[in-house]
Amino acid sequence: MSTEITHAIARDILDSRGTPTVDVAILLAGGRRARATVPSGASTGSQEAVALRDGDPGHFGGTGVLRAIRNITDILGPNLQDPDARNRKAIDDAVIRTDGTDNKSRLGANAILGVSMACAKAAADASNLPVYAYRGGPGPTRLPIPCFNVLNGGVHAHRQGADFQECRQVPYGAGGFREALNWGTEVSHALRAEPLARHLSVGVGDEGGFAPAVGSNQQSYDLPAAALSRAGLTPGKGCGIAIDAASSGCFKGGACRLRTEGRALTNADMVTDYEEMVRNGPAVLREDGLSEDDRNGWRHLNAALGASIELAGGDSFCTHPRIMARGIRDNIANAVLITRNQIGTVSETLAAARLTQCHHGASASRAALERRQTTSSPISPWPWIVAPSRPAPRPGGGRVAKYNPLLRIEEQLGTAAGCAGRPACVRPVRTPLGGHSS
């Protein structure tokens, strides 16, 4: 079966928010055809790769991606003809050189990532292997712990609920993915009753979680914890809570301004609040707990809580190996959110994930807006990866479509299938690169 690339076809489709995104198909000389849909996120870090949008207010309110599609059709596609789709790194390096910018802003990270993902998928299909086996090889058999996105705030609730962007249920004690999915379903249904019992109005956020009109950020943490108990689980024993604070979006004028509570907090105040939450609840992970450029604050946070919970940097690292290496040296956080649309190619994403193996933990993001593409759900080649964050399973489940492929992968692996478990959630503070632990 020939794996030479003959054509690249691009089109715009709608993601699960109704916003245009790029869909790329790669055709091989042997007749195989593979397709990939580009993910994106609602909140972005200042250092991440730039997704190209049209800016035409008369076309999807300026969010169209026709420029990115033309760049695939006119520039990237013709330059891809003849290369072997299996040479992923060479292909990714070539499209990065063609773009010629540090942040992929000329051709667009959404154009480049679409080509990179589709080529990787084509190579796997031509090898008659599922994507997870082609990327990870025969060795990896451990599935990540899912993080069920049960409560939305911040930009995901249009600033009408909690300041924290997401609250997630983490079933780290489940014996396998199927059991974890069962727990997530039960907790999600139990959570529905908690805001109503407190007479809170409840909507649904952009990420599929409930978006209650809470009076404090602590309340947005207490509701899922109460739902664990209502579902018959013991908070902190087999099931915990993760928070994506998305603090960069609240940071203005040297302070984190919490609209819900009417408070302006220094980084020291934020760390004190987080310590209180960890002391009094089943916390296992805190993502983007401080502003992305507050490096001193991150060091303080890591010293205070890094031995107790995962402190994942998303906007602080942007899945960029060079930025990650600098953060590891400076002892910033103890885990990294791995998000391919932040960096823009499959090869760079895998390089970033490998960097976490010896120095940090990793939390894998499926990138919010790729929910409908169900073919690429990977088993984790890295057993320390915590979780893809996805909405908890409830009716209207277009945004939970990736659960079913993971169930099939677990079934394919049979008795060899494992789950990352509690050690993936709580990792010790690592020795910085070139330094010594204190």
Same domain, 146 and 113: no
Judge residue 70's burial from the number of C-beta atoms within 10 Å of its C-beta, 0-12 exposed, 13-18 middle, 19 or more buried: middle
Q: Domain for residue 11, yes or no?
A: yes
Q: Domain for residue 112, yes or no?
A: yes
Q: What is the pTM of this model?
A: 0.85
* pLDDT (0 to 100) of residue 48: 87
Q: Domain for residue 435, yes or no?
A: no
Same domain, 163 and 104: no
* pLDDT (0 to 100) of residue 157: 67
pLDDT digit string (tens) for 340-390?
Answer: 888 999 999 988 888 877 655 656 654 433 434 444 444 444 443 445 455
Q: Give me the residue label for tokens 């978006």.
A: 211
Please give the structure tokens belonging to residue 332: 């910033």
Residue pair 213/160 in contact (Cβ under 8 Å)? The answer is: yes
Q: Which residues of 216-236 are buried (b: 16+ CB within 10 A; e: fewer)?
A: ebbbbbbbbbbbbebbebebe
Say how many domains are in the chain. 2
Same domain, 327 and 187: yes
For residues 337 and 345, what is the distance between their CA atoms, to the nearest angstrom? 15
Residue pair 286/310 in contact (Cβ under 8 Å)? The answer is: yes
CATH number assigned to the domain comprising residue 192:
3.20.20.120
Same domain, 160 and 211: yes
* pLDDT (0 to 100) of residue 365: 59
Helix/strand/coil for 410 = helix
Same domain, 59 and 185: no
Dihedral of CA 231/234/236/237: which sign?
Answer: negative
CB atoms within 10 A of CB 386: 29
Same domain, 116 and 158: no
CATH number assigned to the domain comprising residue 60:
3.30.390.10
Strands 255-258 and 263-265: antiparallel
- Count how many Cα atoms sit within 13 Å of the Cα of residue 228 in the half-sphere of its side chain: 26
CA-to-CA separations, 208 to 19, 64, 153, 424, 426, in angstroms, rounded: 15, 23, 11, 25, 26
For residues 30 and 380, what is the distance between their CA atoms, to the nearest angstrom? 29
CB atoms within 10 A of CB 248: 20
Residue pair 313/298 in contact (Cβ under 8 Å)? The answer is: yes
**Which of 93, 128, 163 lies at the terminal end of a domain, its last residue?**
128
For residues 335 and 324, what is the distance between their CA atoms, to the nearest angstrom? 10
For residue 289, give its domain range.
Answer: 142-424
Q: Domain for residue 314, yes or no?
A: yes
For residues 385 and 144, what is the distance between their CA atoms, to the nearest angstrom? 6
Same domain, 187 and 119: no
Judge residue 46's burial from the number of C-beta atoms within 10 Å of its C-beta, 0-12 exposed, 13-18 middle, 19 or more buried: exposed
Residue pair 398/372 in contact (Cβ under 8 Å)? The answer is: yes
Same domain, 123 and 67: yes
CB atoms within 10 A of CB 262: 7
* pLDDT (0 to 100) of residue 89: 93
CB atoms within 10 A of CB 128: 10
Please give the structure tokens belonging to residue 415: 């008795």
**Which of 82, 100, 128 lies at the terminal end of a domain, its last residue?**
128
Q: Domain for residue 429, yes or no?
A: no
Residues of the chain with pLDDT under 50: 366-386, 388, 395-397, 428-438
Same domain, 177 and 85: no
For residues 306 and 119, what is the distance between their CA atoms, to the nearest angstrom? 38
Same domain, 21 and 158: no
